[in-house]
Amino acid sequence: MKKLFLLSSLFAGHAMAEDLVDVLNVALEKDPQLRAAKYNQQATLENKKQALANFLPQVSGSWSKSESDSKTTYSDGSVNDPDTSESDGWTVSLNQSVYDHANWLEWRQADLQKGKGLAELDAAEQEFLIRMAQSYFDVLTNIDAVKFAESEEKAIQRQLEQAEQRYEVGLAAITDVHEARAQYDGSRASVINAKNLLDDSKEALYEITQQYYQNLNALPDNIEQVILPVTERDEWESLALANNPDLGVAKFDAELAEYTIKRQQSGHFPTVDLSARLAEDNSKGSTFLQPQPDGTVELREFPDSTRDSNSITLTVSVPIFSGGRTSSLTRQSRLQYKAAMENLDRTTFSTVRSVRNALHNVEAGWSSVQARALAVVSAKSAEEATAAGFEVGTRNIVEVLNSQRSLYQAQRDYSRAKHDYLMNILRLKRAAGVLEQNDITAINAMLTVQ
């Protein structure tokens, strides 16, 4: 398991900046999902102590005190109405399991549960890094979306104003004004939608950090390709089969299910227990009237008494018939073991598929980044050429508006492509089970102060 820890500032010049590492450090302390995973892992450590308790002596003690009144009326009219009788006593018992095969199996299962808990925490920590980075980049993506939507709105507004001026002097038709106004109204709606998405992404980041961020460091206009530690698909698959924590959890589940079969079968085995008991009973003296054969009544008196007792018992219990319960539990555990093995196969196939898919996404993602960068350049050139053509009358207002929209859409796509590319790299390492905080700091080094 890769332990997560707070990272110190790595860049003195950015000490006050809110970057990916700053957000990570806050999220490590605040994210409730990660904290819950840590508590669950700590809870699994108690299984070992509970299993150990089965091998240790069980000591119990009790104390009691009682008072009683009795009154007896005989046929001759005499009444036996003695004083109140009192008694008290205490008992100390010790029970020691000498042999119970189920205890040994539970001891071994506790080790497996500890390993499963660590694997689950490892999976939760790697998922935390994905969630944190995705929330951070979602905010950046939507910040860019708002910026480009507002720029598009302003550009179309200028075109609308220009169309209205040209119409007033008779250089443009009213249809140009209507077209520009329709595009402008659409751009205003796009700004509203972009701001809503930005607010939602900020809330998602707040959910992890319980903190709002006004300024986040972002990626520069151009980024370099990230060099992967290994490039061959087979190597990534081998890493995943050895390190993926989800696969590790499935393996532990299968082993635990196998031991559960043995533990249920142990219900047919004999058990040996040793017990010891030490007790003392004290009674206060009492008097009562006792009828005699000749019809008279004699007063009898019992003095105070103390009774001490102790015993040691060795018990061998052999189960003979339990109504079929033990056999049923064994059959049930066998079926659960088969289900666990099927789940292990499914998780294995899913892990391999996830690695392959993530690797394809990384490769395609970098190609998309390069293509989107070129698309921005082409869209900008097309927009400038269309604007120039409109000035000389060879292009109409619709073409100008469409070219501007294409430019801002290309810029939005390029922004998202860069963020998706970096997230695909993180997901590839998560699928392989080797995602660490160092991967976050490496990406953080690419960010710049805005």
Which among 412, 380, 264 is positioned nearest to 331, based on CA atoms?
264
Q: What is the pLDDT of residue 170?
A: 80
Q: Give CA 214 to chain center in angstroms.
A: 28
Residue 400 lies in a domain: yes
Asked if 107 and 51 count as a contact pair (C-beta separation under 8 A), the reply is yes
State the pLDDT confidence band at 287, using cuts at 50, 70 and 90: low
pLDDT at residue 275 is higher than 80: yes
155 & 63 share domain: no
Whole-angstrom CA distances from 216 to 157, 270, 418 are: 29, 67, 16
d(CA 311, CA 93): 10
d(CA 450, CA 442): 18
Residues contacting residue 72 through CB under 8 Å, at least 6 positions apart: 79, 80, 81, 288, 289
d(CA 425, CA 418): 11
Q: What rounded mean pLDDT belongs to the chain? A: 89
What is the pLDDT averaged over residues 180-203?
92
Residue 6 lies in a domain: no
Angle ∠(350,354,357) on CA atoms, nearest 5: 135
> Which is higher by pLDDT, 163 or 240?
240
Q: What are phi and psi of 297, to 5 degrees?
A: -120, 130
Share of the chain above pLDDT 90, in %: 67
405 & 258 share domain: yes
* SS3 (DSSP) at 129: helix
Its sign, for the CA torsion 425, 422, 248, 2, is positive
d(CA 446, CA 417): 15
112 & 80 share domain: no
> 278: which DSSP letter?
E
Asked if 255 and 119 count as a contact pair (C-beta separation under 8 A), the reply is no
Residue 1 lies in a domain: no
346 & 384 share domain: yes
Helices (H), 302-396: 325-392
121 & 152 share domain: yes
93 & 143 share domain: no
Residue 204, CA atoms < 13 Å, CB-side half-sphere = 18
Asked if 113 and 44 count as a contact pair (C-beta separation under 8 A), the reply is yes
Q: What is the pLDDT of residue 15?
A: 43
Domain harbouring 179, CATH code: 1.20.1600.10
Residue 167 lies in a domain: yes
pLDDT digits (tens, 9 = 90+) for 18-75: 899 999 999 999 999 999 999 999 999 999 999 999 999 999 999 998 887 766 665 6
d(CA 126, CA 37): 11
Asked if 84 and 71 count as a contact pair (C-beta separation under 8 A), the reply is no
State the pLDDT confidence band at 9, using cuts at 50, 70 and 90: very low
209 & 297 share domain: no
d(CA 380, CA 24): 36
Whole-angstrom CA distances from 430 to 24, 225, 423, 444 are: 17, 19, 10, 18
> Where is the domain boundary, 318, 342, 357?
318
d(CA 125, CA 243): 14
Residue 336 lies in a domain: yes
> Where is the domain boundary, 318, 346, 377?
318
Full domain range(s) for residue 204: 12-54+101-269+325-444
* SS3 (DSSP) at 121: helix
141 & 175 share domain: yes
pLDDT at residue 14 is higher than 50: no
* SS3 (DSSP) at 228: coil
Asked if 95 and 120 count as a contact pair (C-beta separation under 8 A), the reply is no
> Where is the domain boundary, 318, 345, 377?
318
Residue 238 lies in a domain: yes
388 & 248 share domain: yes
Q: What is the pLDDT of residue 231?
A: 84
State how many domains the chain has. 2
255 & 166 share domain: yes
Q: How many other C-beta atoms lie within 10 A of the C-beta of residue 23?
A: 24
Residue 208 lies in a domain: yes
194 & 295 share domain: no
Asked if 59 and 35 count as a contact pair (C-beta separation under 8 A), the reply is no
Residue 449 lies in a domain: no
147 & 295 share domain: no
pLDDT digits (tens, 9 = 90+) for 103-158: 999 999 999 999 999 999 999 999 999 999 999 999 999 999 999 999 889 888 88
d(CA 146, CA 449): 19
State the pLDDT confidence band at 12, using cuts at 50, 70 and 90: very low
Query: Would strands 286-291 and 79-80 be described as parallel, antiparallel, or unpaired?
Result: unpaired
Helix, strand and coil percent figures for the chain, each rounded to 5: 65, 15, 20
